[in-house]
Structures are given as C-alpha cells and as structure tokens.
Copies of this chain bind each other. A is one copy, B any other.
Amino acid sequence: VRQRVDRIFAALETEVDAIVLWNASSHLTDSTFKYVSGVTRGGYEGCAAVLRKGLRPTLLVSTLEEESAHTASDSDVVAFQSQPALREILQITLASPRRLGVNADALVLAKANLLRELFDGVELVDVSAAISAARLVKDSDEIERVRHACDITNEVAADIPSMLREGLTEVQLAARIEQAIQSRGGRAAFNTIVCFGKNGSEPHYSPGDVPLRRGDMILVDFGSQWSDYCSDITRMYLFGGASSEQRAMFDVVRQAQASALELMRAGVAGKRVHQRAKEVIDATEFAGRFIHGTGHSIGLDVHDGGGLNDASEIMLAPGMILTVEPGVYVPGAGGVRIEDTVLVTADGPEVLTTVTKDLVEVAV
C-alpha cells in the first residue's frame, strides 16, 4: 500500500505541497481514499486524506470510523468530531500550502471551495491524471482481490442455467444472481442487468417484470465486489435451442471478442483493441450495431478510469485490468454482449472470468 502514494507522486506533472482527498456525503466519496490507505471497511463520508511525497498518508476520519481506520496499518490516523474540527486539523496539518493537489474527477466543488477558503491564495492543481495513471496499473494485492471477485462471478455464472425456468422474471433472476454473490461473501458491484429476448437491444437495460419464454436469448451482465474490488462479466444463455438468427448474432460477437482479446498485451494502444472489435463487427450484417466502447478499467470502481474506445490514450501495460465487452444491438430483435475481466500480463491477456463463454442452451 505504501508504494501507492509514491506512484501517484511519481506520475505528477506539477509539483505540489500535498494532495488532499476529501469525501463528500452519502455515496459521493473518492475511492482513492481506500486506494492509498488500504482500508476495506467503512464508508468514510466527509473524511479526508493528506498525501505528501515520501510520507505515510494521514487519514482524517470521523470518530465514528476511527476504529475501522486503524486497520490501515500504514497510515497515520487523526480523528475529528465535527466538520469544523476537521477544517482546523487540515489547517494545522497543511500549514500554508501554495499548491494543493486535488482529484478533480472525484472532489465535489463545495470541498474545493472550502479548500480555497481555508488556504488563502492557494492554487488547486488537478492531479486526477496522476491518480488515474497510478490506479490503472494494479499491484499484487489489488490483483488478488479482483481475482477473488472474478472467482465469485465464475461460480455464479456457472449456476445461472440451473436458475432458469419458464415464467421466471428478469427481476427475479437478477435477485437470484445477487443472492448467489452474497452467499459467496461478495456483494453486487452494480445493479445486475438481465434482459430476456428483445430487451437485450438496450445496453444499460434495467430488469423488469418480464417473464422468461421458450426461445428467449438471455443476456446477463453482473459483477461481484469483494474486499472493495470489482469484477464484471456478461454471458449469454438460450432458453431452448438457438435459432439461426440468434446463433449468427452470437457468433459475430464471439469472434469480435476473441479478436479484441488477442490484442490485450503490453504495448498495444487501448484504442486499437476497440478498433479491432469494431472492424470485425462492421464487416458483417451487423455493421453499425456496436454502439459503445469495448471496455473499461476496473478495480475499486467498476469504471475505474480509462478504457478501450476511440478516445482512449491508454497504452496497455502489465498489471492493468480491463473489461473486453463488444456487443451487437438490434432494436426490436435483441442483443448480444460477451464480456470478460482481463488482466494484462507481460505474456499477454489473462482472462480472469474463466467460466465458459459459449452460448449456453438450456433444455426447456
């Protein structure tokens, strides 16, 4: 964990006196707080972290989470009773900084304004690119956590065929999947997507009270979070035997995914992986039906910063973990997506979501 702060400072383009992370309330927290401290429990609403080059992080936590924070063995922990007290502690800790680094991608404007008030004339430097660059390459501890999260999804995905029966609704299947994740010690990393039949044409579809019918193609996109790290997988099932149209759509995506996976090795541009998947699809009858990026970095967040798309500036390197998930969407007919969570290694891609990605036909 200690090296994580070093990695952030090493990636900085502008020198700063310190970096301040400051969580807002409810869900509006910066997962970088957990990244630099290694804490895996607690929500840390309103808590802050001060990072300085070569030093242990200082965690400023509410007294409500003081005990949880002490699991961060490589950080100094200072507890505060109220937000005014936190502001005083920040002033004492930081003295008179000229330049403070902030993570503009996750710091809310109100906290940025407070920093400007607390430190007269301070310049806030956006260090989100350095944080993103550091977090993009996972260390061994992070890789093990994502691997465990993927193991849970593998087990659950293997169980999905046994959950299917005529009349089961999308909402019910999503609940069954999330229960299966929990019974293995994980949590749903995001709201499980289950699409029956033509509903598969909407990439971010939310499950409804739609019953399963014979002949339905089933798209399931879900992930587990384990010890704060996420996995993400999409698999396709067929309730009955596949029609030739369903099989054709599946085969194109399967081919696009395989072609993209081949490129998941160090030194390849993320943009190139996306282009490859797109080329494969656009050379078929489904040209123009692949309407999103090919993948995203995953870690503490499901969308952990950066991805595989036309705007990507990522150059693949060992330790990166990204999803590879091309798809084809035909409104009124349905859709197919196949998604793996993939670790980039020196030797090429290691697919962490090892469960079969065949179109699983379930006997009705």
Binding site for B on A (CB under 8 A): 24-29, 31, 41-43, 45, 62-65, 67-68, 81-84, 102, 104-110, 112-113, 124, 126, 128, 171, 175, 178-179, 182-183, 185, 187, 190-191, 202-206, 291-292, 301-305, 311
Contact = CB atoms under 8 A, between A and B. Distances in A.
B64 A203 contact: yes
Nearest to A113: B104
Most buried by B among A29, A179, A304: A179
Given A45-B303, A175-B182, A182-B179, A28 B113 contact: no
A64 B204 contact: yes
Given A64-B291, A105-B108, 15 more contacts: A26-B31, A26-B302, A27-B29, A27-B301, A28-B105, A28-B106, A68-B202, A81-B291, A104-B109, A107-B108, A107-B109, A108-B108, A171-B185, A175-B182, A178-B187
Nearest to A30: B28
Contacts of A113: 104, 126
Given A182-B178, A202-B68, A27 B27 contact: yes
B26 A28 contact: no
B126 A109 contact: yes
B203 A82 contact: no
Contact of A126 (B84, B110, B202, B292): B110
A68 B26 contact: no
A63 B304 CA distance: 21
Contacts of A64: 202-204, 291-292
A191 to B, nearest CB: 7
A284 to B, nearest CB: 21
A355 to B, nearest CB: 22
A301 B26 CA distance: 7
Nearest to A188: B187
Contact of A24 (B106, B124, B179, B302): B106
Shortest beta-carbon contacts, A-B, top 10: A41-B206, A104-B110, A104-B109, A26-B301, A64-B204, A64-B203, A26-B303, A109-B112, A175-B182, A67-B202
20 contacts: A25-B105, A26-B31, A27-B28, A27-B29, A27-B301, A43-B190, A43-B191, A68-B206, A82-B311, A102-B109, A104-B109, A104-B110, A105-B108, A107-B108, A107-B109, A109-B112, A109-B126, A113-B126, A175-B182, A178-B187
